[in-house]
Structure 1
Amino acid sequence: MKPSLKAIALLSTALLTACTSTEDKVNDLLQRHMDAFVFVEGGSFMMGNPGGWSVRRDSLPAHKVTLDSFSIQKYEVTQGDMDLFMEVTGYTYIDDFYAKDKSKYQNRFSAELPAPTAWADARAFCQWIGKLSNKTIDLPTEAQWEYAARSRGKMYRFATDTGKAVAGVNMAQEAKKGVFDHNALPKAPGSFPPNPLGLYDMSGNAAEWVLDNYQPDYYENSPELNPQGPEKAKTSGLKSGPIDHHKVARGGRFYDFWGNTTVSRLDKPQELMGLDTGFRCVMQN
């Protein structure tokens, strides 16, 4: 039996409404992300640990870096925006170990929290925003991230409003000494005051993916002008299994209070999703 004209009309209206609703959501997402970019004037600074800011040897030596101007987002990308990206593009996670069982990890995948991703997922989102806006948008380089976190390279040990860390005031609460809280969660972006550039959560929330490959001795060999990281990444894994390629993540983690300095580096396998990860995007000017 052929459908009635009324049924066809109702179906057409429903489809049009759904399409319009999705289009509106994407337009809203794009507007919010473009509005969130903060211009960062380029310049020179001493990148890395000036002494006593980190226990990691790979944050040494401090070395001069000169950067061109760029813009970076105020906030970490939320899971809600990541979900919409995947819905409209058909993108699927590189590593679905956690995501395939969201019922078990549902608190970490709440729409308002920083999106946990593998490195390629984070980069795909930023490049999607770039495609929608016709701009060059990607993950920040490690040098761009640190320069912005330190408010254009100032001597800020933490990326807070004061450069100091005060638990529960400008950074997340400090965990009990020697205790790892497996139920800990990051805060929704913007929960604490921003750094002097107006950037939120660059210390002590999610560990933010950056563009660079990781090598522990890179700071000994980094070029001065717009460094992009080492050509080859550190690798790990069993000889008989898959090989993981390590990227850099910055900003510390919500359960690691004193490790959340502006110079601390984390090396994380790019193929794996971490529940402590997040990201923000950068736009080239």
Structure 2
Amino acid sequence: MKPSLKTIALLSTALLSACTSTEDKVNDLLQRHMDAFVFVEGGSFMMGNPGGWSVRRDSLPAHKVMLDSFSIQKYEVTQGDMDLFMEVTGYASSDESYDRTKEQYPNRFMSKLPAVGSWIDAQAFCQWLGKISNRPIDLPTEAQWEYAARSRGQVLRYATDTGEAIEGVNMAAASKGGFTDPTALPLPPGSFPPNPLGLYDMSGNASEWVLDNYQPDYYENSPELNPQGPEKAKTSGLKSGPIDHHKVARGGRFYDFWGNTTVSRLDHPKRLMWLDAGFRCLLHTKNAAIQAQDKKKQPYY
């Protein structure tokens, strides 16, 4: 039986409504994210561990770095926005266990919490944001992240409003179960006061993926001007399985109060997701005026 004209009209209206709703959601996401970028004036600073805060050898030596200006987001990207990105683009996580883990730990995947994903997933989101905004957006480099967390390179141990950490006041309290607490969760981005640049949660919420490959001795060899990380990444994996290339994550973790300093460095295989990791995006402002000349709308799908 052929559908009636009324049925066809109703289906068409429903499809149009669904498409409009999706586009509205993407436009809202785009507006929120672009409004969240904070300009950071470039300059020089001592990157690494100038205050002697960390016992990790890979945070030494402190070394001079000079950076161009850039803009970085106030907040960590949320799971809700990651879900929308995956929905409208059909993107699938690089980690084959993503869906299974999401079912196993639903509380960690709540829409208001920092997004969960691999380094590959995080970069895919930021580059998609760049595509639909027609702006040069990606993950921040490790140097850019640390410079911003330390409010343009000041000698501050924590990326809080005061540079100090007070449990429950400007950073989440220590998890009673520490690393083994299965109920520990990050908080919604923006739960505590920002650092002096207006950036939230760069200490003590989710550790954050950055652009750089990881090598434990990179600080001994880092160039001074706009370092991009080592050319080759540390690798791991069994000979019979895939080789994993490691990327850097910065900023500590929600269950590790005293380890949440601005020099805290972690390394993870880039294709695997981590429940304690999140990310925020960076806008390259050096050529922003040129980029702004071309405002042609990019497709969402």
User: Matches of 2:76 and 2:44 in 1, distance apart?
Assistant: 25
User: Matches of 1:175 and 1:3 in 2, distance apart?
Assistant: 59
Note the C-alpha offset of 1:55.
Answer: 1.4
User: Matches of 1:141 and 1:43 in 2, distance apart?
Assistant: 15
Q: Residue 150 of structure 2 contacts residue 262 of structure 2 at CA under 8 Å; is this kept in 1?
A: yes
Note the C-alpha offset of 1:155.
Answer: 1.1
Note the C-alpha offset of 1:181.
Answer: 1.3
Give the secondary structure class of the aligned counterpart of 2:30. Answer: helix
Which of 168-177 and 219-228 deviates more?
A: 168-177
Partner of 1:257: 257
User: Matches of 1:102 and 1:247 in 2, distance apart?
Assistant: 22
Q: Residue 189 of structure 1 contacts residue 200 of structure 1 at CA under 8 Å; is this kept in 2?
A: yes
User: Matches of 1:99 and 1:108 in 2, distance apart?
Assistant: 13
User: Matches of 2:255 and 2:270 in 1, distance apart?
Assistant: 21
Cα–Cα, structure 1 residues 18 and 269, in superposed 2: closer, same or farther, change >3 Å?
A: same
Q: Residue 119 of structure 1 contacts residue 209 of structure 1 at CA under 8 Å; is this kept in 2?
A: yes
Partner of 1:7: 7
Note the C-alpha offset of 1:3.
Answer: 1.3
Note the C-alpha offset of 1:180.
Answer: 2.9
Give per-residue Cα distances to partners, 1:51-75, cap 9 Å, x unaligned: 4211111000000000000000000
User: Matches of 1:105 and 1:37 in 2, distance apart?
Assistant: 30
Identity of aligned residues (%): 81
User: Matches of 1:179 and 1:217 in 2, distance apart?
Assistant: 26
2:21 counterpart of 1:21: yes
Length-normalised TM-score, structure 1: 0.98
Cα–Cα, structure 1 residues 34 and 64, in superposed 2: closer, same or farther, change >3 Å?
A: same
User: Matches of 1:264 and 1:193 in 2, distance apart?
Assistant: 20
Partner of 1:129: 129
Matches within 5 A, 1:268-283: 268-283=268-283
Cα–Cα, structure 1 residues 92 and 98, in superposed 2: closer, same or farther, change >3 Å?
A: closer
Length-normalised TM-score, structure 2: 0.93
Q: Which stretches of structure 1, 4 residues or more, deviate above 4 A after TM superposition? A: none
Q: Residue 114 of structure 1 contacts residue 188 of structure 1 at CA under 8 Å; is this kept in 2?
A: yes
Give the secondary structure class of the aligned counterpart of 2:88. Answer: helix
User: Matches of 2:3 and 2:177 in 1, distance apart?
Assistant: 68
Partner of 2:219: 219
Give the letter aligned to residue 258 of structure 1.
Answer: W
Give per-residue Cα distances to partners, 1:166-205, cap 9 Å, x unaligned: 1111111113486631210000000011000000000011
2:142 counterpart of 1:146: no
RMSD between aligned alpha carbons?
1.1
Note the C-alpha offset of 1:257.
Answer: 0.8
User: Matches of 1:45 and 1:179 in 2, distance apart?
Assistant: 32
Q: Residue 175 of structure 1 contacts residue 181 of structure 1 at CA under 8 Å; is this kept in 2?
A: yes
Give the secondary structure class of the aligned counterpart of 1:25. Answer: helix
Q: Residue 175 of structure 2 contacts residue 254 of structure 2 at CA under 8 Å; is this kept in 1?
A: no
User: Matches of 2:152 and 2:224 in 1, distance apart?
Assistant: 15
User: Matches of 1:165 and 1:101 in 2, distance apart?
Assistant: 32
User: Matches of 2:10 and 2:264 in 1, distance apart?
Assistant: 57
Partner of 1:209: 209
Give the secondary structure class of the aligned counterpart of 1:108. Answer: helix
User: Matches of 1:179 and 1:154 in 2, distance apart?
Assistant: 30
Partner of 1:44: 44
Q: Residue 98 of structure 1 contacts residue 105 of structure 1 at CA under 8 Å; is this kept in 2?
A: no
Structure 2: unaligned runs, 5 residues or longer = 286-301
Give the secondary structure class of the aligned counterpart of 2:46. Answer: strand
Structure 1: unaligned runs, 5 residues or longer = none
Q: Residue 64 of structure 1 contacts residue 224 of structure 1 at CA under 8 Å; is this kept in 2?
A: yes
Partner of 1:87: 87
User: Matches of 1:279 and 1:12 in 2, distance apart?
Assistant: 39
Which of 222-231 and 5-14 deviates more?
A: 5-14
Q: Residue 96 of structure 1 contacts residue 273 of structure 1 at CA under 8 Å; is this kept in 2?
A: no
Note the C-alpha offset of 1:5.
Answer: 1.1
Matches within 5 A, 1:153-168: 153-168=153-168
Give the secondary structure class of the aligned counterpart of 1:103. Answer: helix
